[in-house]
Structure 1
């Protein structure tokens, strides 16, 4: 058993559990802690560091959730990640840095992608907008690549929260993830002809690339995410993936599999398109560092959006390009126009700069966690073993596999007849056909009363 020499800075703003987590993670990624190395018990490490057992327990739970370590019954904790020699160049994250008359029925809409509108910080947003509207630059089209102030704020935020080491020059602002994916397909179409995607997965991504004549290769998703073994047999050198919160299953890919993906991209001289979908809202453990943060070879394109944490109508999304693609982007930049509102971009930049972003994010995370826990509890209460819940540990929607002889279409129609709108998942599947219908439930703009009533009604309708 290795003794861990961890220097805890008790004066640091970084929580002690995070310091323990970061130290062990770095030791594993650097190869100093090899696979199957036994770690001190939670109690032993707490005594050694003179910290509470809760501190070491939370650190170990985070490491375990990301796949760095494993727990063996009555034996303890062991390093689970295998780090190859070519991954030893990894640079660790730095600390600072939705036949009765429907009019007579009160609709309950489990719509996907909606947010809790009542908790949008309208007063602060309006105050900032009123202040920046006097800037003469707000009366122009805005910068083609996106507001420079917002791009600088994003570079800092992405580094601190997701480990994305980038600069404002590599960040592109757009009105939506779809718009940015379309732009990316233009940049890649000359040198790449295949796109590997998750199956099931985000249908819009594969359809956008198919419009640009890319050949789509669906890769099955298993318990720990995409089947890397199948990817290795693919002719594709491009991969679109949602590794932190798989769309739509909610699976999180552990670090071992992430490292395999990075190695694959390097070996085939390709790119991973990382859509960091719903990464802000992870409820069981701290947010898992992005694929981009493990990338030392400039092989990851990173995508994110503010549509879930703020409002979809603000229309601000972003893409981080590798240096090689940044050069290609700059060649076509004169032909492009910015699709996101200059006023909304500058308002958001100021909102972040003046310290409103993190408190708002913490508030929304707590709110959505409470709603998700309630939805999960009500599904188990009313459906018991008749549904299998997929997801729920992050994001603002989940999937239920309904063990019934009814079709997906019939389930949706039955629900609608009783004033409840739920959503199909069949469009997310390419080749894989599930045994039972899958239904997607969103909770963003539903109050707790509607969640309780909606689930209760669905059970009466479907069972």
Structure 2
């Protein structure tokens, strides 16, 4: 056969789609034993993909025995046993049956992904690409970039973080107390290694960040839960808990979005003092509060009892893997001794570039610009949801952050709502993975907005209205 035309989508790697389509043609008998296949170059031109794409697909087919290469002659179909072909046909029929959506929809409504309400992305339009590139090029001229970085973080970045944390989050600290890493989860793993011998159990928010839960479970901590409602955490439970270690997101609870009052924060500090424990404060997007000034961090009240965790991923760029941790004085030396022989896993180039970015005032300008941009997107998303759905939905967490949670009053389950939305070209995300012991009576869905345009937000909500209507 001289030519093929496949419909390729963006949902999966293109080489894999080519491989699967070719495999189907062979197993269904459309391509017979010893049939010749188009050359790598010709197939790439026909499908408008790179030669590497078709080459990888062919190599996979060769590895699995479906085709063979005969040097300059090209590629040919191998013989398959008839029984094998029948089994393939049965498997394909079963797969087709299983792939039928739970909620049947008219074929005309089935479409490719148009709007992805994914949280954790940033708006590429406003990323200061030119400035960042210029600073990175300057940093590349420095000899330090051609050596392994400092074990616990670049000194210049830590020096910039000290005044920033005091000014923006109210946290008074020194460079010695700051540790740099690649992610919050990695920092939690390190803290787990440090504390697990003296703190066998940990108290986690329920619902809460499942990435933190995974990190603590990896260390085999006993998990206790702090129930969190839409109105806030149930702190009365603290007096009944055995754990002396608490992980919380007080400035912007994940996922409800509620913030702790100063009274609640003081209660947590008093608890940590009474039990001689520590609070792990995850301030993952504390810069983005839209109704008032960002709340001071919990660590600003008593830094001796709080391990403060911050990240550049949400506020700047996920691809720049930079996070930081502020340790109480009592943990600084034990941490350095425990990890004295571990290499720094955050890019020294990115650390030094971020230090220059902050030193020149670009970081502060970027945060101010993005806070206004994200506030406008947040308001637009909430207004569109209220206009389209009215009392059918309730919006949670619209005061801060880069996502909201939507409570849907519907007989459909969370998964059914997600599937129906995807049928209409919209991707929304579940919150059920964040729950431990608690459950929600109504489906709760997470909608991120940071990387979407105003037009995409409007289109996405309109499609959700079509998808979720009775």
- Between the aligned partners of 2:172 and 2:229, the Cα distance in structure 1 is 29
- Between the aligned partners of 1:131 and 1:184, the Cα distance in structure 2 is 34
Give the conservation status (yes or no) of the 8 Å contact 1:247–1:277.
no
CA RMSD of aligned residues (A): 1.4
2:257 pairs with 230, 234, 250, which one?
A: 250
User: SS in structure 1 opposite 2:269?
Assistant: helix
* Normalised TM-score (structure 1): 0.77
User: SS in structure 2 opposite 1:304?
Assistant: strand
What pairs up with 1:290-439 in 2 under 5 angstroms? 290-295=297-302, 298-439=304-445
Consecutive unaligned residues in structure 2, runs of 5 or more: 1-104
Residue 257 of structure 1: CA displacement?
Answer: 0.8
User: SS in structure 2 opposite 1:461?
Assistant: helix
Residue 207 of structure 1: CA displacement?
Answer: 1.6
Give the conservation status (yes or no) of the 8 Å contact 1:224–1:254.
no
- Between the aligned partners of 1:384 and 1:239, the Cα distance in structure 2 is 38
- Between the aligned partners of 2:435 and 2:220, the Cα distance in structure 1 is 20
Indicate whether 1:452 and 2:458 are aligned: yes
What pairs up with 1:3-82 in 2 under 5 angstroms? none
Indicate whether 1:273 and 2:312 are aligned: no
Using a 3 Å threshold, how does the CA distance of structure 1 residues 417 and 103 change in structure 2: closer, same or farther?
closer
Residue 107 of structure 1: CA displacement?
Answer: 1.9
Deviations 1:149-184 (A, max 9, x none): 001101110011111111111111111111111111
- Between the aligned partners of 1:312 and 1:223, the Cα distance in structure 2 is 28
Give the conservation status (yes or no) of the 8 Å contact 1:195–1:239.
yes
Consecutive unaligned residues in structure 1, runs of 5 or more: 1-98
User: SS in structure 1 opposite 2:284?
Assistant: coil
Report the counterpart of residue 15 of structure 1 in structure 2.
none
1:132 pairs with 136, 139, 159, which one?
A: 139
- Between the aligned partners of 1:142 and 1:322, the Cα distance in structure 2 is 23
User: SS in structure 2 opposite 1:312?
Assistant: coil
Residue 140 of structure 1: CA displacement?
Answer: 1.3
Using a 3 Å threshold, how does the CA distance of structure 1 residues 102 and 273 change in structure 2: closer, same or farther?
farther
Give the conservation status (yes or no) of the 8 Å contact 1:225–1:243.
no
- Between the aligned partners of 2:186 and 2:121, the Cα distance in structure 1 is 19
Report the counterpart of residue 23 of structure 1 in structure 2.
none
- Between the aligned partners of 2:382 and 2:231, the Cα distance in structure 1 is 21
What pairs up with 1:183-222 in 2 under 5 angstroms? 183-222=190-229
- Between the aligned partners of 2:279 and 2:152, the Cα distance in structure 1 is 22
- Between the aligned partners of 1:240 and 1:333, the Cα distance in structure 2 is 22
- Between the aligned partners of 1:280 and 1:151, the Cα distance in structure 2 is 18
Report the counterpart of residue 71 of structure 2 in structure 1.
none
Residue 277 of structure 1: CA displacement?
Answer: 2.2
Residue 198 of structure 1: CA displacement?
Answer: 0.8
Residue 332 of structure 1: CA displacement?
Answer: 1.6
- Between the aligned partners of 1:102 and 1:263, the Cα distance in structure 2 is 56
Residue 101 of structure 1: CA displacement?
Answer: 9.7
Residue 106 of structure 1: CA displacement?
Answer: 4.8
Using a 3 Å threshold, how does the CA distance of structure 1 residues 172 and 102 change in structure 2: closer, same or farther?
farther
Report the counterpart of residue 144 of structure 1 in structure 2.
151
Using a 3 Å threshold, how does the CA distance of structure 1 residues 230 and 352 change in structure 2: closer, same or farther?
same
1:285 pairs with 284, 292, 297, which one?
A: 292
Deviates most, 333-342 or 444-453 = 333-342
Residue 333 of structure 1: CA displacement?
Answer: 2.5
Report the counterpart of residue 118 of structure 2 in structure 1.
111
Using a 3 Å threshold, how does the CA distance of structure 1 residues 103 and 459 change in structure 2: closer, same or farther?
closer
- Between the aligned partners of 1:175 and 1:102, the Cα distance in structure 2 is 42
Give the conservation status (yes or no) of the 8 Å contact 2:111–2:424.
no
- Between the aligned partners of 1:163 and 1:332, the Cα distance in structure 2 is 29
- Between the aligned partners of 1:222 and 1:127, the Cα distance in structure 2 is 46
